[in-house]
């Protein structure tokens, strides 16, 4: 899928796009997607976990990287993966994240752990079922990340 050239700035022609931008587009968007996901979690943790986020960042070690690692203000930890891929995220990604979390000492004293997944294309049915059963697993799709907030939210009930 080719993005709208207008969103990348005026003046890019098809030749410039094909030779200079397209081959590297996903390499650029992947890390940018991680930044957007961390910001979204920071801004919307209260909605998902009924408690605001504290610190949200990332962790990497010699043989692993955790795209999202942080604390919520209730003392729980949150860990996550962000995937800008053309495939659905499934249980294998969830299990790998849990393996990576076991390799770090970050938030090992947390009272509970939450796992979040951000995906460009979505999630397998198996991972969706896991999230339905386990409130500690939260799924964020691309549609949620780009949805504009309602400029006229309904007033709270009296």
Measured between alpha carbons, how far apart are the two ends of the chain, in Å?
A: 47
User: Which pLDDT belongs to residue 1?
Assistant: 47
Per-residue pLDDT of the chain (158 residues; tens, 9 = 90+): 455 545 555 566 788 778 888 888 888 898 999 999 999 999 999 999 999 999 999 998 889 999 999 999 999 999 999 999 989 999 999 999 999 999 999 999 999 999 999 999 999 999 999 999 999 999 999 988 887 565 555 666 66
CA angle 79, 134, 71 (to 5 degrees): 25
pLDDT given at position 26: 85
Q: What is the pLDDT of residue 20?
A: 82
DSSP string, 15-63: HHIIIIIGGGHHHHHHHHHHHHHHHHHHHHHHHHHSS-EEEEEEEE-SS
The pLDDT score that the predictor gives to residue 10 is: 56
Phi, psi of 24 (to 5 degrees): -115, 0
- What pLDDT is stored for residue 54 in this prediction? 93
Of the candidate CATH numbers 3.90.1650.10, 3.40.1350.10, 3.20.20.10, 3.40.50.300, the domain formed by 14-146 belongs to: 3.40.1350.10
pTM: 0.82
In whole angstroms, give the CA distance from residue 108 to residue 92: 23
* Residue boundaries of the structural domains of the chain: 14-146
Residue 39 confidence (pLDDT): 95
Query: In whole angstroms, how large is the CA radius of gyration of the chain?
Result: 18
């Amino acid at each position: 899928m080719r993005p709208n050239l207008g969103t990348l700035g005026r003046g890019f022609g098809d030749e410039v796009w094909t030779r200079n931008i397209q081959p590297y587009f996903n390499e650029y968007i992947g890390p940018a997607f991680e930044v957007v996901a961390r910001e979204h979690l920071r801004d919307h943790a209260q909605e998902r976990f009924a408690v605001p986020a504290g610190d949200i960042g990332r962790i990497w070690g010699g043989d692993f990287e955790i795209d999202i690692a942080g604390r919520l203000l209730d003392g729980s930890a949150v860990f996550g993966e962000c995937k800008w891929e053309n495939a659905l995220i499934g249980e294998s990604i969830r299990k790998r994240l849990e393996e990576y979390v076991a390799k770090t000492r970050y938030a090992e004293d947390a009272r509970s752990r939450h796992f979040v997944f951000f995906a460009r294309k979505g999630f397998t049915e198996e991972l969706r079922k896991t999230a339905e059963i386990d409130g500690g697993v939260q799924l964020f799709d691309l549609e949620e990340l780009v949805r504009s907030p309602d400029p006229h939210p309904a007033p709270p009930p009296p």
